[in-house]
Chains A and B, each alone.
Chain A
């Protein structure tokens, strides 16, 4: 039997699939958030140097990781849409942008909350903080460009090009800012092993997975709305049970 790999690349079929997947992702995200926060706050011990303050990393680190990955994924979808002219890819890119911006903002915000007791300042012009701020600007630029073009096709293609240019620029920005100034502590999780307590690791990874699942659920929900909005004049939308009722 031949498998049609591209079955779900059409908005028509993807709309239904996304609708079925959302509850699963949302539910598992909720459960993992509860588990992760429980381990993070109740099980994991206080840090030797940072005391209780370090616990903010359970939300700070996953949201930073997600804000960066989501930008790359967004740029990837944007590139797919630009190259193969698939409608759904551009919609996915548009749907990812607000979630990515949200995570970038949470990352900055929690970073500021952590910085005040640890560094004694809400904000320092450190390499990672600055590049995260620039990442937020890039997200906002993408959203703003998409919002200010009325023709959806041009909006998709123009913002896709911007996302690709941005993703080429992200490493350049990152290294330029890194050489400019560095105060932020280095990564605790490295590929060669980690110095963290096991419970801290468990909490962090649970929260990371929870954030991923949350992001997927929200993006799918948003892409469903975008599909409905863009294809509102088509027959298959008018035949949907939730639209008819």
Chain B
């Protein structure tokens, strides 16, 4: 089982590295959306510092939506996905591998990029640390919830917009607790409750979403 997981992750990472442009576009989109906010609302540092966690989280949410379309569609189009579903090993595990690879390609770069952007918004070191921790816990959840939507909208016309419509409402709790943690640390409150809840969501998503996504793929492929 674990071999399969490693195999799928490695395969998807290799494929992603062969097409680096796709990975970079997501990252550039993230940087660009975040940079547009000061231009839109004005350069006043006090306000920017206050809205930084929200901006970074929403931008992360949007850019993870952007890359979700590719999660299954390339494999679906060239028939690989059909072969994968015929494999005797568990489809949930395979899906989990694809989710993990998706996060490493589209979530992890955002987390690594976030400190730089946070500094642009004049965030304090402590708040920045909590933001990164929150993003580390939260972005995998976004990938996993998004995978359900990606599987459901597989091969549909206008799939991209529909995908966001389905997935964004489901991601709201992650957004709330992710920004809430930063808010808490800047007002001197404890962050453990927010981060624990994010962790709980991560665990719950880890257990349930691969199976649900596998079911969704079966529905879409039959």
Interface residues of A (CB under 8 A from B): 134, 137-138, 140-141, 144-145, 148-149, 154, 157-158, 161-162, 165-166, 168-169, 172-173, 176-177, 179-180
Note all chain B residues with C-beta closer than 8 A to A177.
Answer: 172, 176
Q: Report the separation of the CA atoms of residues A176 and B178 in the bound assembly, to the nearest whole angstrom.
A: 11
Q: Which residue of A lies closest to B194 (CB)?
A: A179
Note all chain B residues with C-beta closer than 8 A to A162.
Answer: 148, 152, 166
Interface presence of B212 (CB below 8 A): yes
Chief secondary structure at chain B's binding surface: helix
Contact of A173 among B148, B157, B173, B219 (CB under 8 A): B173
Contact of B158 among A138, A148, A172 (CB under 8 A): A148
Contact of A157 among B156, B170, B176, B219 (CB under 8 A): B219
Q: A141-B169, A177-B172 are in contact. Are A161 and B162 (CB under 8 A)?
A: no
Q: Report the separation of the CA atoms of residues A173 and B166 in the bound assembly, to the nearest whole angstrom.
A: 14
Contact B152 A145 (CB under 8 A): yes
Q: Report the separation of the CA atoms of residues A140 and B153 in the bound assembly, to the nearest whole angstrom.
A: 15
Note all chain A residues with C-beta closer than 8 A to B158.
Answer: 148
Question: Contact mask B38-81 → A, CB, 8 Å, 1/0?
Answer: 00000000000000000000000000000000000000000000
Note all chain B residues with C-beta closer than 8 A to A134.
Answer: 169, 172
Q: Which residue of B lies closest to A176 (CB)?
A: B173
Contact A144 B219 (CB under 8 A): no
Note all chain A residues with C-beta closer than 8 A to B162.
Answer: 144-145, 148
Nearest Cβ on chain A to B69's Cβ, whole angstroms: 14
Contact B219 A158 (CB under 8 A): yes
Interface presence of B180 (CB below 8 A): yes
Contact A165 B153 (CB under 8 A): no
Nearest Cβ on chain A to B76's Cβ, whole angstroms: 14
Note all chain A residues with C-beta closer than 8 A to B156.
Answer: 148-149
> From residue 143 to 166 of chain B, which have CB atoms closer than 8 A to chain A?
148, 152-153, 156-158, 162, 165-166
Contact A161 B152 (CB under 8 A): yes
Note all chain A residues with C-beta closer than 8 A to B3.
Answer: none
- 5 A-B pairs closest in CB distance: A176-B173, A137-B169, A157-B219, A141-B166, A176-B176
Contact of A165 among B170, B173, B222 (CB under 8 A): B170
Q: Report the separation of the CA atoms of residues A145 and B201 in the bound assembly, to the nearest whole angstrom.
A: 25
Note all chain A residues with C-beta closer than 8 A to B168.
Answer: 137
Q: A145-B153, A148-B157, A158-B216 are in contact. Are A140 and B176 (CB under 8 A)?
A: no
Note all chain A residues with C-beta closer than 8 A to B176.
Answer: 176-177, 179-180
Interface presence of B120 (CB below 8 A): no
Q: List 11 A-B contacts (CB under 8 A).
A: A137-B168, A145-B153, A154-B219, A161-B148, A162-B148, A162-B166, A172-B173, A173-B172, A176-B197, A179-B176, A179-B180
Note all chain B residues with C-beta closer than 8 A to A138.
Answer: 169
Note all chain B residues with C-beta closer than 8 A to A179.
Answer: 176, 180
Query: Which of B152, B158, B212, B216 gathers the greatest number of chain A CB atoms within 10 Å?
Result: B152
Interface presence of B103 (CB below 8 A): no
Nearest Cβ on chain A to B144's Cβ, whole angstroms: 11
For the A-B complex with A148-B157, A158-B219 known, give 19 more contacts whose Cβ atoms are closer than 8 Å.
A137-B169, A141-B169, A144-B166, A145-B152, A145-B162, A154-B219, A157-B219, A158-B152, A158-B216, A161-B152, A161-B212, A162-B166, A165-B212, A166-B169, A176-B176, A176-B197, A177-B172, A180-B176, A180-B180
Contact of A172 among B152, B201, B216, B222 (CB under 8 A): B201
